[in-house]
Amino acid sequence: MIKSLWCLLLFCSFTNATAPPISYIQGNELITVKGQLTDYGYGYNLDADEVLRLVTLNWPPYIDESLCDFGWVFQVTVEMLISQGYGVDVEFYPWARAVREAELGKADILFPEYFIDDAAASNNVPDKTRNQLLALSEPIPGGDLSLITLKDNNIQYDGSLNSIKNEVIGVVRAYKNTVELDSFIDNDQIATIVVNNEFQLARLLLSKRVTLIVADLDSLLASVEKSPISANQKQIINSSLIALLPSLEYKYLHYSVSKKKPNWRSVLQAINKKIETMKQNRTFEKQIKESSEQCK
């Protein structure tokens, strides 16, 4: 039955008709800001003197248009900017398109982003690294990046990439994995099949075109959960997947600010300042818990 399910996963996509409200405490006051549809996304505080264009992807449970609140990353991102007087217009794209928009300066902020190594080259601007084009914020909570396989696969993984370099691995286009794994891939030490999103990763694995995929298991399972397949089919898939131990790396999330924008330093400073305040107030933990409970 697993083999018959991968085609369903490929076409799972949802879009809410309205933008969720954003609520936060400022001083002793509860402030709620309603969102509105824009030409290509979701806008908040659009009458502000400075409106930032943000690009992102559907990546549950962190951020996704199918979630009732669009996910905790969406909530805290909009809050951190509108609470400082910015307006925001958030647009969802496939990840490679979102990266391109930011690296070319068509968008102000790309999120959520993994750490970018200084050697990582841009796929959009010749002879430039990604860090020459984008400025990375301080980290916020993330999750484990793992090698995921089917439970009936006999993968001899001992924690080193050398132990699985004869396997064929599925990866998402333009995702940054780990420095070591990306080096193996770039130097053709590991064979890969590249796809555009995690739905297609599930397709590769379930159809057995690859023996391993690189993903955040919580995100992969959330992608299955949001799909229109039956509860029984979801359970079959969920019970068939396993993340190999140890994980590749715990991956914090970041915001990437386009250096092509003249105000990028002030935007980055505003983001980092708010991240520090949110850490002190445990805003991230509260929002993660609230989002999980609200969208069950």
Q: Render pLDDT for 25-82 as a digit per residue (tens, 0 to 9).
A: 888 899 999 999 999 999 999 999 999 999 999 999 999 999 999 999 999 999 999 9
> What is residue 296's predicted lDDT score, i.e. its pLDDT?
67
Q: Please state, in angstroms and rounded to a whole number, the distance separating the CA atoms of residues 69 and 17.
A: 12
63 and 96 together in one domain: yes
Assign 237 a pLDDT band (cuts: 50, 70, 90).
confident
> What is residue 255's predicted lDDT score, i.e. its pLDDT?
98
161 and 237 together in one domain: yes
> What is residue 17's predicted lDDT score, i.e. its pLDDT?
62
Query: Region 149-159: what's the mean pLDDT?
Result: 94
Instruction: Read off the CATH number of the domain in which 156 is found.
Output: 3.40.190.10
200 and 174 together in one domain: yes
> What is residue 8's predicted lDDT score, i.e. its pLDDT?
47
Which of the pair, 7 or 102, is modelled with greater confidence?
102
> What is residue 196's predicted lDDT score, i.e. its pLDDT?
85
Contact 252, 115 (CB under 8 A): yes
- Asked if the structure places residue 10 within a domain, the reply is no
The share of the chain scoring above pLDDT 90, in percent, equals: 78
Query: Structurally, how many domains does the chain consist of?
Result: 2
Query: Region 242-268: what's the mean pLDDT?
Result: 97
134 and 272 together in one domain: yes
135 and 238 together in one domain: no
- Asked if the structure places residue 3 within a domain, the reply is no
Q: Which two tokens stand for residue 113?
A: 């982003």
135 and 264 together in one domain: yes
Query: Region 114-127: what's the mean pLDDT?
Result: 94
Distances (CA, A) of 4 to 7, 9, 40, 124, 207: 7, 10, 34, 37, 8
Distances (CA, A) of 23 to 74, 229, 275, 278: 12, 33, 17, 14
**In the predicted model, is pLDDT for residue 2 greater than 70?**
no
* Structural domain of 186: 143-249
Query: Region 143-167: what's the mean pLDDT?
Result: 95
